[in-house]
Structure 1
């Protein structure tokens, strides 16, 4: 079954957001996940589609009103409508959104109340984000996140009825099945019952707290266990922590997207860690021993041999990143960069000039330098 996404969570807005707030949030999210900005990123492309789906519904007042009351059930039925949603037989009869509007606004015109409570459809899945450091991703961490979601109404215990279970009766149109069938030419089409909208039951007097829906909006704080070795962009699924579907219905799931902050010291590549270490020219030439940090919080000593060149790597086995669902670790690589000294004083300059004079007579000391300019000389003389 396809995952149901909470359109408000996708756009990162509250359910009370104004049209301007929705538009602003949509533009921000669309710009962030646009395929042109994330070439080859399948996750960003999928997110971009979700953002457009959400805004397509929420920017329209009638669609938004239907979604607020019935969730994704408002768009289930026959053929697909704009934006990839299902609108049954269209707005003008034939079920789908047209019947939902009739139910919603018919009450105001003296049509009486029908259905709406005790829906047995599963609650919608919702999404959230947890931001962690690289060190937390290495060791694993528990994070508290706060989500705005729909929970079961305590006043009516999710029935949607002011009188509880006694105020809920079997739907007279579908006789509790939640579905009806209609003949269309040679075909028999099955769709959600337009009276109870798939609930199989109707409510006589809706609960004033939840207005017959069976669920209410509430903020919840959850603790999410993020495992060691998790990668940036991974999703963690918390079964049953999504929106409530009301009494008798399974709740949806919560999907937590993990975002790992960039580190000032380390760059991660899968299970390997890279650390860029600048050395003074004298250290690289004479050799030295340096102490480097390790992602687990420890330290490691690395011997730098004399004559080390900029760009060389030194490997520390087993000092890299943790591997997801494993006790293994990758390797750590020290990448050396040799710095050219700046702001020399008089004595330093004299020493370097003396060194350069000596180095010019010793081609073995800089073989690449000597070899390169020898080839340049041959080129200008037409020998190569």
Structure 2
């Protein structure tokens, strides 16, 4: 048994360590942007929103976002577990380490991706819990983006109107649930009863409001891809709003036609150019010039490929190809003298 002085010294060291950790480290509640009294549902909603925002797939090459994503998952792993949360509230991170070292933990915890997969559809209890939270309707907007924006990247301002939940006079029944109780109907005989219990909450109402939303168009986005604004869809009372999704479509262009990552265009040349060759350039979507001339003979409907002059691939430095179809413009009529000279040349 350690002498009382040594025991007091060890206790002082532990308390100092705890205080320093508390002051230097960011609270798990701060990481998830919730209060210390937050409910399990509030913690779960905060995690869902932040994890989607900072997921590495949405922030490629962003080390700061990757770090935030790891912090968010670490905080959620603790605060979503009642036992770990209780220990953390009382003793902080040092208490969690002591708890794990004494064998009270779960054997190393979960992998970050396991937490994310479980929560967002990887199976298991978290997905079942998520289904209990009512969610408003998703709103899907078909958005036609110009070929220039899809080639270089750009942004569109879109006017959006939606329902907004506002306070209203009076009270309402909310957080309704079924509670089971037993009623004695005779000596030794009980009947199981179910009763709906509802809380009284401040009343709310829907009001229509509008605002401009900036939709960022990324280079190389394909038709059907979506730009998602999480929880910006239709709201629902006592639940989570749905998502607002802008589904991208390529708007028609006066010179180019898009097929996947490739571009197609038609160029008209004269009969003389088709026979003797020509020099010609076309202006691309970003204003750079592409040389499409030739010194040889060009057949009507001939297609030539210009490698790397198509659309950029989404999240890649590569590009598709440009295919040029040549239309040969024949003269409407020839004089007898012209016919004679052409025969002399071609025979």
Normalised by the length of structure 1, the TM-score is: 0.47
Q: 1:124 to 1:133 in 2, by over 3 A?
A: same
Alignment partners' CA distance in 2, 1:141 and 1:266:
18
Match of 2:151 in 1: 138
Helix, strand or coil: the match of 1:322?
A: coil
Where do 1:122-161 residues align within 5 Å?
122-153=135-166, 156=167
Long gaps (5+) in structure 2: 1-132, 181-193
CA deviation vs aligned residue, 1:139-164 (integer Å, no higher than 9, x gap): 122111122211121xx2xxxx526x
- Residues 1:162 and 2:152 aligned together: no
Helix, strand or coil: the match of 2:148?
A: helix
Helix, strand or coil: the match of 2:169?
A: coil
Match of 2:304 in 1: 314
Match of 2:249 in 1: 259
* Aligned residues between the structures: 203
CA deviation vs aligned residue, 1:269-319 (integer Å, no higher than 9, x gap): 211111211111101111111111223221112231332212223322221
Q: Which moved more, 1:287-296 or 1:272-281?
A: 287-296
Match of 1:323 in 2: 313
Checking the alignment, whether the CA contact within 8 Å between 2:230 and 2:242 is kept in structure 1 is yes
- Residues 1:240 and 2:231 aligned together: yes
Helix, strand or coil: the match of 1:257?
A: strand
Helix, strand or coil: the match of 2:151?
A: helix
Checking the alignment, whether the CA contact within 8 Å between 1:277 and 1:337 is kept in structure 2 is yes
More helix by share: 2
Checking the alignment, whether the CA contact within 8 Å between 1:284 and 1:304 is kept in structure 2 is no
Alignment partners' CA distance in 2, 1:180 and 1:277:
75
More strand by share: 2
Where do 1:1-384 residues align within 5 Å?
121-153=134-166, 156=167, 162=169, 167=171, 176=175, 178-179=177-178, 200-203=198-201, 206=203, 210=205, 215-246=206-237, 249-342=239-332, 346=335, 350-356=337-343, 358-359=345-346, 362=347
CA deviation vs aligned residue, 1:218-277 (integer Å, no higher than 9, x gap): 22321111211122333222111112224x532210011223211121111211111211
Q: 1:336 to 1:220 in 2, by over 3 A?
A: same
Match of 2:93 in 1: none
Match of 2:54 in 1: none
Alignment partners' CA distance in 1, 2:178 and 2:333:
82
Match of 2:86 in 1: none
- For the aligned residues, what is the CA RMSD? 3.0
Match of 2:53 in 1: none
Alignment partners' CA distance in 1, 2:333 and 2:160:
55
Q: Quote how far apart the aligned CAs of 1:352 are.
A: 3.4
Checking the alignment, whether the CA contact within 8 Å between 1:286 and 1:306 is kept in structure 2 is yes
Alignment partners' CA distance in 2, 1:309 and 1:259:
34
Alignment partners' CA distance in 2, 1:124 and 1:202:
25
Helix, strand or coil: the match of 2:274?
A: helix
Helix, strand or coil: the match of 1:300?
A: strand
Checking the alignment, whether the CA contact within 8 Å between 1:127 and 1:254 is kept in structure 2 is yes
Alignment partners' CA distance in 2, 1:303 and 1:206:
72
Helix, strand or coil: the match of 1:162?
A: strand
Checking the alignment, whether the CA contact within 8 Å between 2:220 and 2:313 is kept in structure 1 is yes
Q: 1:244 to 1:358 in 2, by over 3 A?
A: same
Alignment partners' CA distance in 1, 2:249 and 2:274:
37
Alignment partners' CA distance in 2, 1:201 and 1:323:
53
Long gaps (5+) in structure 1: 1-119, 182-190, 363-384
Helix, strand or coil: the match of 2:142?
A: strand
Checking the alignment, whether the CA contact within 8 Å between 2:258 and 2:264 is kept in structure 1 is yes
Checking the alignment, whether the CA contact within 8 Å between 2:283 and 2:290 is kept in structure 1 is yes
Alignment partners' CA distance in 2, 1:270 and 1:180:
56
Helix, strand or coil: the match of 1:288?
A: coil
